[in-house]
Structures are given as C-alpha cells and as structure tokens.
Structure 1
Amino acid sequence: MIINDKKTRENTVDKRNANKRVGFYLILIVLMTAVLATACGRQNEQAEPSVQAEASQQAESAAPSAEADPAASTETASEASGGEARSYTHEFGTTEVSGAPERIVGVYLDDFLLALGVKPLTQTMYGTRPLPYLQDQIGDLPAISTSSINLELILQEKPELILLAYPAYAQEGRYEQFAKIAPTYVFSGEDGWKDTLKKVADVIGRPEQAEAWLNEYEDKTAKARESLKQAIGDETVMFIRFTRAERIQIYGGPSNFSADVLYGDLGLQPSKLIKEFAWGEDNSAPLISAEMIPDFDADHIFITYDKPGEDDAKEFQNHPLWKNVPAVQKGNLHEVEMFHWMNDGPIANSTKVDDVLKALLK
C-alpha cells in the first residue's frame, strides 16, 4: 500500500508538472503572437512613405536635442545666439526668435536680407532662372526654386531661421515641415517693401540696419529727384512690360513695382495715356496689344522683356509702328532688365533708380 501511495503521488506530481508546462507554452505562444503583431503593425506604418514623412524624419535626425519640436529648436537657437526670445505671430502660428541669427534661409527674400547685411544660406530662383541683379552677391549659393522648394537642401544648410515671403509657400502642410527644420516665419506678402524691410529686420534682430538703409535710400532718391527735375523738368515717363505677344502691359499707378519708384520716390510725371488708361488700384497694369503703340505719348518710355531673345519679343521690338512714336524718334526708348524692375525689394528699387538716372541724365 505504501508503494501504491507513492506511485499515486508521483502520478499526481507528473500531471501537475505537465499542466504547468502546457500553461507555460500557452503563455509563450500568446506573447510571441503579440510581439509579431506589433512588429507587423510597425512595418505597415513604415510601408507608407511620403514626402512629408521623409522630410519630417530627416528634420528630426538633423536637429540635435530638438527632436523636430519647433519650440525646442527655438530654444537651441536661443542658446546659440543669446538674448531673450521674441515672439512673432503670423498666419500659421507663433514663431520665437532669439538674438540675431546668422544662418538664415529666406525664400524670395534674398534682396531684403542682403540689404540688411546678411548673406542667406540659399538663393531663390525665378522658376529655373536666378535673379541676375543679385548674382554678384549670392551667385555661389545653392538654389531654391519657388515652384518646387527643396526641403532636403534647406535641411542640409542647417538654418537657425527660415523666412517665407508669401503664405503660398507654407500651405498644404508645408509650414509644419519647415518648422521642424528651424523656426519659420511667414510674411503676408501684402505690405509695401519698406514695411517688409523693417519687419524682416525686426525678426532677424537687426532693426538698426533697416533704418540705416532706408535713410540712405531717402537721401539717394532726394538727390535723384533734384537732378531729374533739373534735367527733364515736367517731361513724362511710362513703363511697359512685354511678357509674350498676348501679354503686353502698361504699368501705371498709383502703386506697383514701377510706379512706386518712378512716380513716388523720384517724383516723375506720368503721361496723359497713363493717367487715363492705367491709373487706379484695380487698373494699374492693363493689358494692351501692339496696335496701341502709336498711342504711347510719354516723353520717355521704359520697357522690359521677360525673355528678350524670344521671337515674339524681337517681333515686338522691331514692330514698324514704333518709328512714329515721339519718344523713339528722340532716342528716349530705354530697355531695362526685367528681374529687378519686376521685383519690389530694396536693392531692386535702388537699382531702378540707377537705371532711370543713367537713362535720363544725359
């Protein structure tokens, strides 16, 4: 009986151990299933690549200790540049900037940054063409096209601050991508160039440079007004832009790229045609056809061609109707370069003044 009891106890123990082993294996199977499910889930998440996700991941890896958090990036910049953080509210949020950042990307704000003594990290392209009037200062910089902004290139430049000239550059989720690279401020694109210059200067911590530049510009235009008054008196001027055969425009006023300089800063007189046909906030750059050439009544005509080498531009240049225009007969048709005449930055406008003085002070 003792032997039988012992065997019974042994059988009972064996059964208990077997049950434990089965339970252990069941638990192990459940855990392995959970691990595999989690791994598959992560693989599915990573299997949906997108430009936004890729840019975000690159930004995270490129921002030491900031982990793609715009606020953390601003704190890092604050430590580097010193000074208390300044907050700037814009359409896409609030941006904090400290001190006077040196490493700045300014999309279509190259002109403004250079006027303030800051060489940006990149240069802006107009489509596929650089801005020729700035090439002596930024021709060696990597290029960004406004038609397709290269986030990876910006990331590689490691900016402390990103400035965008127009809200369109930040739409459709792009602002968040920029902000993960560096603190990003978006301008409204609605202010005049002088107010924009002051705002850029404020954001980058250089307000004194803006005041100095504007004072120099005022001195320059005041002297130019006096010289022009003595040279041409009340003779009239007009400005024409030829984009293509079906898009020829007279730029009148009171305010646009050319009018602000010609009729505002330099105090020149618009012709009768300009006042009657191209004056007013809603009609300052009307379209015309080549048949209107005989009506060009200004004493001096400034004209620019988007692509002067194109056949339709050459055809317009050589149009027989030009020979009867008084300004042409007197040698007062002045061709100017499109890029700075169709830009509204401080350097562009200062260069326009130079063009006018060169043409009219004979």
Structure 2
Amino acid sequence: MRNMNITKRIGIHLVLMLLIVWAAACDNGKEQAGQVQSDSASSTATTSDGSRQQTEGTDRKPGNEKVGSPEQKRSYTHNFGTIEVSATPKRIVGIYMDDFLLALGVKPLTQTMYGKRHLPYLQDRIGDLPVISPGGINLELILEENPDLILLAYPTYAQEGRYELFSKIAPTYVFTGEDNWRQTLLTVADVIGKPEQAESWLNEYERKVAAARDSLKKAIGDETVMFIRFTRAERIQIYGGPSNFSADVLYQDLGLKPSELVKKLAWGEENSAPVISAELISQFDADHIFITYDTPTNEDAQEFKNHPLWRNIPAVKKGNLHEVEMFHWMNDGPIANSMKVDDVLKALLK
C-alpha cells in the first residue's frame, strides 16, 4: 500500500466496518449504466485575484475562471457538501465517470464495471485497471489507490452516510445525474483543472455533428428513425426524446426525424424509454431502426430476431435494420456519443 498518514489510514479502516451495511444497500439499488449527467448544485471558485465567484446550476460556466498555480485551492459546492481541490489533481477515481475523464486526457485510477462486464468501448484507452462495481463499491480498493479526488456520477452512490466514507479517503464531488452530458464534461473539466480540454473537445464534436447532419440530410432526407433496446423477452424498450442518451444524438445533434410511433409512445420528459410488448412490433413504422441487444447471443434475443412480426416490418424487409453495440449506446459520455455518430453515419450513408 502506498505511503499514507497513519492516523488517516486507521480512521478509514474503522469506517470500512460499515461496508457490510453499505453493500446490502447497494445490492438493493438500481444499477445505473450510462446517462452520466452533471451536478446542478451551486459551485464557487477562487479566482486568481482571490475573489469568490458563485453561480447556480446549469448557469455555471466552468472554465471561465483562471487556474492558478498547482498550490492554489478551488472550492466547489455540490448537494452533499463543499470540497477543495488543487488546480490539477493527478490521481482521480471516477465511478461511472471513466468516459468523461478519458475524453479530457486523464486516465483514472480504476475502471467502472457494467454489471459484471468491462466497458469494451473504453478498453483500448483504459487498459487493465482495477475494477469498481457500482453495485458494491470496494472502498478499501479506492483507499489503496490513494486518490487526490473522487467523482461519483450519481447521488445513490453517496447516500445513507456513504459520502462521509468517501470523503475520509479524498475530496469527493457528487453529480446529480440531471444535467446534459456537455455540461457534465465542462463541470468535470473545471473540477480537475482542465477547462481548455473540454472546450476543445466540444468544439471538435460540434464540427463533427454539423458535417454529419449535412451528409445525412442529403442521404436520407426526411426518412424516420427509431432506436430499440432488447434486454429480454419481457423487456423491450423504445427510446424517444427529446432528451436521453440516444435521443440527444439521434434527434438533436444529428437532426434525424423520429417516427410517429416514437412520438406517440416515447416522447416527453416523463416516459422517454417505455417498456413495450412484442405485440407492438407490427406497428413499428420507422424507415430505419437501430437496435441494441444486451446479450445478442442468448436464446431470447435469437427468438426475437426470428419473430415473424419482427421479420415482416418495413425497415427489416428493406434492409434498414442496424444493430449497434450496447455498451456505448447505453452510455452518455462524450466518447460514447461520438461513437454513436460514427455508427449512424456508417449505417445510413450507403
């Protein structure tokens, strides 16, 4: 184990006794993959002249303040408290924040698991790092990594006294999961002292999607699109909008047109990803259907692919069914979204 203040280590190991209670609580919680969002809580930063700046929620524009020397501390207030961080923390644990950190050129100390599986779309960037499962977070592993900063994607990871456990290891910032991914990226970049990298990444992404919109408009015009997730026979979801981690890319960034069924069943803030029954398959009216399978080789998935209703809908008969990889389509980080754009272009620019 790396060198660490003995008193701090003893205190942390004592609170680790609470892990039994914590693990039981985590197992009962809903595993959240994707849709990583940012904190709408207020934040304050110390500027180079020593003054304080404070803004509320998504009105905050991270990166506007000037980062000073490495010794300078900046404070950030979120829903669980206030933290102080150095200008550029080096050792960072980010639970379900891997995508955001890697987009900013920062390799975290650990990698987040999706259930019991790695996130394959990040493996070439993240390598063989120690794994963290949100369903039962190993605090002792995090302690051994000796981080300067911990980022938690969702409040559920910090509730029921768990925030205090994280805070005994390192300053911990908790996101609310409510803001869009662009704001999340800006907030992460601000907290870790890399605002320029976030602005650069977003500018490049906007150039990419602007070019993609033009190409897609020429290729398919007003043809409609829908996105479906197949988890198991009794859990088929149709994803709508106007905002979630597929709609943001399909219908906002790329300007594609949702089908009438999408707008009827899955449009609105309250129910943008309803579970539907197989009986509705015959009503699938989109010109192009993107579909992802949680486990494409299992028996349920194979039966679904061979379902007579499924095989006879217009998009399938025309060869406009596009299978996409679940892990990045069900995540909402900047890298995942950029890969979705690539998938759409590959599918629709024939």
Instruction: Determine if the TM-score, normalized by the shorter chain, exceeds 0.5.
Output: yes
Q: TM-score, normalised by structure 1?
A: 0.78
1:170 and 2:158 matched:
yes
Equivalent of 2:339 in 316, 327, 351: 351
C-alpha displacement at 1:215, in angstroms? 0.3
Map Cα deviations across residues 200-228 of structure 1 (whole Å, 9 max, x no partner): 00000001111000000000000000110
- Residue 128 of structure 2 aligns with an amino acid whose one-letter code is D
CA RMSD of superposed structures (Å): 1.7
1:51 and 2:16 matched:
yes
Question: Higher helix share goes to which structure?
Answer: 1
- Residue 105 of structure 1 aligns with an amino acid whose one-letter code is V
C-alpha displacement at 1:251, in angstroms? 0.6
C-alpha displacement at 1:54, in angstroms? 8.7
Number of positions where the alignment pairs a residue of Structure 1 with one of Structure 2: 290
Map Cα deviations across residues 298-339 of structure 1 (whole Å, 9 max, x no partner): 110000111112211111111111232111111110111111
Contact 2:304–2:310 (CA<8 Å) still a contact in 1? no
1:222 and 2:210 matched:
yes
Distance in 1 separating the partners of 2:17 and 2:175: 22
- Residue 244 of structure 1 aligns with an amino acid whose one-letter code is R
- Match of residue 211 from structure 1: 199
Q: TM-score, normalised by structure 2?
A: 0.80
- Match of residue 175 from structure 2: 187
C-alpha displacement at 1:283, in angstroms? 2.1
Contact 2:85–2:191 (CA<8 Å) still a contact in 1? yes
- Match of residue 107 from structure 1: 95
Task: Point out where structure 2 has 5 or more consecutive residues left out of the alignment.
Answer: 1-13, 21-68
- Residue 196 of structure 2 aligns with an amino acid whose one-letter code is E
Distance in 2 separating the partners of 1:160 and 1:311: 45
- Match of residue 296 from structure 1: 284
1:335 and 2:300 matched:
no
1:264 counterpart SS class: helix
C-alpha displacement at 1:83, in angstroms? 3.1
Distance in 2 separating the partners of 1:176 and 1:147: 18
User: Where does 1:122-137 land on structure 2 (aligned, <5 Å)?
Assistant: 122-137=110-125
Distance in 1 separating the partners of 2:285 and 2:172: 47
Equivalent of 2:130 in 115, 129, 142: 142
1:318 and 2:306 matched:
yes
Identity %: 78
- Residue 158 of structure 2 aligns with an amino acid whose one-letter code is A
Larger radius of gyration: 1
Distance in 1 separating the partners of 2:194 and 2:15: 38
Contact 2:282–2:313 (CA<8 Å) still a contact in 1? yes
Contact 2:228–2:289 (CA<8 Å) still a contact in 1? yes
Contact 1:271–1:298 (CA<8 Å) still a contact in 2? yes
- Match of residue 37 from structure 1: none
Contact 2:152–2:173 (CA<8 Å) still a contact in 1? yes
Change (3 A) 1:51 1:219: same
- Residue 351 of structure 1 aligns with an amino acid whose one-letter code is M
- Residue 273 of structure 1 aligns with an amino acid whose one-letter code is L
Distance in 2 separating the partners of 1:287 and 1:54: 34
Change (3 A) 1:328 1:90: same
1:278 and 2:266 matched:
yes
Contact 1:109–1:165 (CA<8 Å) still a contact in 2? yes
1:85 and 2:50 matched:
no
2:75 counterpart SS class: strand
- Match of residue 43 from structure 2: none
C-alpha displacement at 1:248, in angstroms? 0.7
Contact 1:52–1:177 (CA<8 Å) still a contact in 2? no
User: Where does 1:10-89 land on structure 2 (aligned, <5 Å)?
Assistant: 51-52=16-17, 82-89=70-77
1:163 counterpart SS class: strand
- Residue 111 of structure 1 aligns with an amino acid whose one-letter code is D
- Residue 83 of structure 1 aligns with an amino acid whose one-letter code is E
C-alpha displacement at 1:277, in angstroms? 2.1
Map Cα deviations across residues 122-157 of structure 1 (whole Å, 9 max, x no partner): 000011111111011113111000101111111111
- Match of residue 58 from structure 2: none
- Residue 346 of structure 1 aligns with an amino acid whose one-letter code is P
User: Where does 1:236-247 land on structure 2 (aligned, <5 Å)?
Assistant: 236-247=224-235
Equivalent of 1:255 in 243, 249, 252: 243
2:113 counterpart SS class: strand
Map Cα deviations across residues 44-73 of structure 1 (whole Å, 9 max, x no partner): xxxxx7734699xxxxxxxxxxxxxxxxxx
Distance in 1 separating the partners of 2:310 and 2:150: 47
Map Cα deviations across residues 248-285 of structure 1 (whole Å, 9 max, x no partner): 11111111111110000000001111122221111211
Contact 1:106–1:122 (CA<8 Å) still a contact in 2? yes
Task: Point out where structure 1 has 5 or more consecutive residues left out of the alignment.
Answer: 1-48, 56-80
- Match of residue 13 from structure 1: none
- Match of residue 147 from structure 2: 159
Contact 2:293–2:301 (CA<8 Å) still a contact in 1? yes
